[in-house]
Amino acid sequence: MHGRWTSRGLFFALAALVMVAACETVPYTGRSQLQLISAEQETQMGAQTYTQTLAKEKLSTDPVATEMVKRVGSRIAAVTGLNYQWEYRLIQNDKTVNAFALPGGKVAVYTGMLPVTRDESGLAAVLGHEIGHVVARHGGERVSQQLLVNVGVESTMAALSIGNPATVQAVGSLLGAGAAVGVLLPWSRQQESEADHLGLILMAKAGYDPHAARDLWVRMGQQKGASQPEFLSTHPSDPTRVRQIEGWLPEALQYYKSR
C-alpha cells in the first residue's frame, strides 16, 4: 500500500512539474496558461484545419469586400508582433454570421457578418477579437487541456496529416474554426473576455477607434432570438460583455491614433 501511494505521489509530482514548466503568459493580460504543444505545432494544426475548412466552402468573388477583409486583417496583424504567414479569405455564405482566426494567422470571414459589422471599424472589432484568440494562443491552450486526458501530440498530428475526419473536426473545433468543420466548441468565459480585451488593444494599435467594438457587440446582442447568428453561439454578447468593454476602453484608447 505504501509503495502504491508513493508511486501515485511521484506521478502527481511529475505531472505538476510538467504543468509548471509548460506555463506561458498571455500578452497584455499577464494570465498564466497551460501550453503542452509548441507554437510550431499549433501553427501546423491551424494551417491544416484552414485548408480542410476552405475546401468545403465557396470564396466570395466580390473584389471590394475581399480587399476590405485583407486590408483590415493586415493592419491588425501588423501590430501583433507575430511573424506568421497571414492569410485572409472572405467566404461566400450570407446566412452565416461568423468569422475565425486560426493559429499561424489563418483568417476567414463569412459574408453574412458584413451587414452586422457595417464598415471597416466594425470589421476591425471582429477581427481584433478573433486575432486576439491567436495572440493569446487560446487554441493551443484548449488542445493542451484536451491532451491531458486524451491522446498525445504525435498521434494527433499524424491523424491530422492524413486528414482523419474525426481528428480534423475535433482539432478544428478546439482551435475555433468555421462552421464547415462541424460543431464549434464555445470558448471559455475567461478566454472570451481575454479576446475582447486583446481585440480592443489590437484594433486601437492598428488605427481603428475601439469605441466601434462596443457598438458592434450592442448590435450583435440585438440579433439574439429565433435567428441567433452562429457567431453568438460561441461568442455570447450580453450586458456584462459590453460593460467589460467599456471598462477597457480607456486602456485601449492609449494605443489609438487615427490614420
Q: Is 130 a catalytic residue?
A: yes
The pLDDT, as a whole number, for residue 231 is 56
Q: pLDDT-based confidence at 127, cuts 50/70/90? A: very high
The pLDDT, as a whole number, for residue 71 is 98
The count of domains in the chain is 1
- Containing structural domain, residue 123: 25-253
pTM of the predicted model as reported, rounded to 2 decimal places: 0.79
The mean predicted confidence, pLDDT, of the chain is: 81
pLDDT in tens, 50-109: 998 999 999 999 999 999 999 999 999 999 999 999 999 999 999 998 999 999 999 999
Asked whether residue 174 is domain-assigned, the answer is yes
Asked whether residue 11 is domain-assigned, the answer is no
Asked whether residue 169 is domain-assigned, the answer is yes
The pLDDT, as a whole number, for residue 239 is 79
Greater confidence (257 vs 130) lies with: 130
pLDDT winner (highest mean) among 18-22, 47-51, 169-173: 47-51
pLDDT for 126 beyond 80: yes
Asked whether residue 120 is domain-assigned, the answer is yes
The pLDDT, as a whole number, for residue 182 is 44
**Pair 56, 180: CB distance under 8 Å:** yes
CB atoms within 10 A of CB 8: 10
The pLDDT, as a whole number, for residue 228 is 52
The pLDDT, as a whole number, for residue 16 is 45
Asked whether residue 258 is domain-assigned, the answer is no
Asked whether residue 235 is domain-assigned, the answer is yes
Active-site annotation holder among 130, 192, 194, 230: 130
Which residue bears the cell 448590435?
A: 219
Of all residues in the chain, what percent carry a pLDDT higher than 90? 54
Asked whether residue 153 is domain-assigned, the answer is yes
Interatomic CA distance for residues 25 and 31, integer angstroms = 5
Sign of CA dihedral 69, 74, 79, 83: positive
Single-letter amino acid, residue 248: W
Asked whether residue 2 is domain-assigned, the answer is no
**Pair 128, 163: CB distance under 8 Å:** no
